[in-house]
Amino acid sequence: MKIKEPRKIRAILKIQSEMRKILAEHLRKKGFIEISPVILSPMTDPLNHPTMPGDVTCYGKQYHLTQSMIFHKQIAMKFLEKIFIFSPNIRIEHPDRKKTGRHLFEFTQLDLEVRGASREDMMNLCEELITDVIATIKRDCKTELDLLARRLKIPKKPFKQIHYEDAYKKYGKNFETMISKTHDGPVWIIDIPLKSREFYDREDPEKPGFLRDMDLIYPEGYGEALSGGEREYDYERIKTRIHKKGQKLSQFKEYMQVAKDDLPPSAGFGIGIERLTRFICGLKSIEDASLFPKVPGKYGI
């Protein structure tokens, strides 16, 4: 952490711990089951930006460190209807991301998935979840928020929505930063073009070339909060999308075996816990949202 005052460090960690409790309780009340994180797997999220490989050899076989649990969430839908995971992710981001204030190479996502859900179901759930966390922290962590000089506003529902293309036209290629800096409540970006995302995001059958997915942008310049959407579940369409991305089926062999048999339709999202902590506590950098931060390009314990 850059912050050195023990009282402030304690306040941040107390708020983060409360946040985890509120999030988990909210989801449990809605019938979600928490499953354990997966750390090692032969397959992981290929992401839409380059990261350096985090690989480990066990018994002569190669495993990837989890970049996200997307494939495991989809597979879990065969057995469970609503799941969440506090999922540690390792993404060895380019060292250029050192100064963004919102990237770590080890972080935790609250990752969730719901069988048969639509993007709109997930947006509603997310709005309820975020307003609950903010309202409860405001009520129960007053001393800590005062110490951090953070004034939190409870956002009004429904959150504003902007189509990706309109955002691009209005604000240019840095639209995410611009939207974040110019709004005082969270903003949804919807209908993201197919080429900008991963193969597992479901294409909108009524709007070919665009996805049934969304990003949430925090206000006050804090940037992206989460990404999510509906998932592709049809084996042939998944195959086509993998090829379109120039990726190899063999990279996702175990996932494809399940998809061939049966992958239920689902939707979900993943929200970064450290980014949420940064926003709720009003921190300059994500580095202050973790006791042992791993900042891209830097050595950390």
Judged by the rule CB under 5 A, the positions of this chain that interact with Mg ion are 227
- Dihedral of CA 230/83/30/86: which sign? negative
When CB distances are held under 5 to 8 angstroms depending on the partner's kind, the choice from Mg ion, ligand AMP, none that residue 109 binds is ligand AMP
290 near ligand AMP, rule: CB under 6 A: no
- Give the x/- contact pattern for ligand AMP in 124-143, rule: CB under 6 A: --------------------
Tokens found for residue 17 = 């711990």
Given the complex with ligand AMP, which of 86 and 206 has the nearer CB atom?
Answer: 86
226 binds ligand AMP per the rule CB under 6 A: yes
54, 186, 268, 270: residue in contact with ligand AMP (rule CB under 6 A): 270
Query: Residue 274 interacts with ligand AMP (CB under 6 A)?
Result: yes
11-50 footprint of ligand AMP as x/- string (CB under 6 A):
----------------------------------------
Task: Closer to ligand AMP by CB, 219 or 272: give it.
Answer: 272
Q: Which is nearer to ligand AMP, 109 or 285 (CB)?
A: 109
Q: Which residue is nearest to ligand AMP (CB)?
A: 272
CB of 186 vs ligand AMP, minimal distance in Å: 12
For Mg ion, the closer of residues 67 and 74 by Cβ is 67
91 near ligand AMP, judged by CB under 6 A: yes
Residue 132 or 176 having the CB closest to Mg ion? 176
Only one of the segments 18-26, 150-158, 187-195, 224-232 lies at the binding site for ligand AMP (rule: CB under 6 A); that segment is 224-232
What is the SS3 string spanning the chain?
Answer: CCCCCHHHHHHHHHHHHHHHHHHHHHHHHCCCEECCCCCEECCCCCCCCCCECCEEEECCEEEEECCCCHHHHHHHCCCCCEEEEEEEEECECCHHHHHCCCCCCEEEEEEEEEECCCHHHHHHHHHHHHHHHHHHHHHHCHHHHHHCCCCCCCCCCCCEEEEHHHHHHHHCCCHHHHHHHHCCCCEEEECCEHHHCCCCECECCCCCCEECEEEEEECCCCEEEEEEEEECCCHHHHHHHHHHCCCCHHHHHHHHHHHHHCCCCEEEEEEEHHHHHHHHHCCCCHHHHCCCCCCCCCCCC
* Chain positions contacting ligand AMP, by CB under 6 A: 68, 91, 93, 103-104, 107, 109, 224-227, 270-272, 274-275, 286
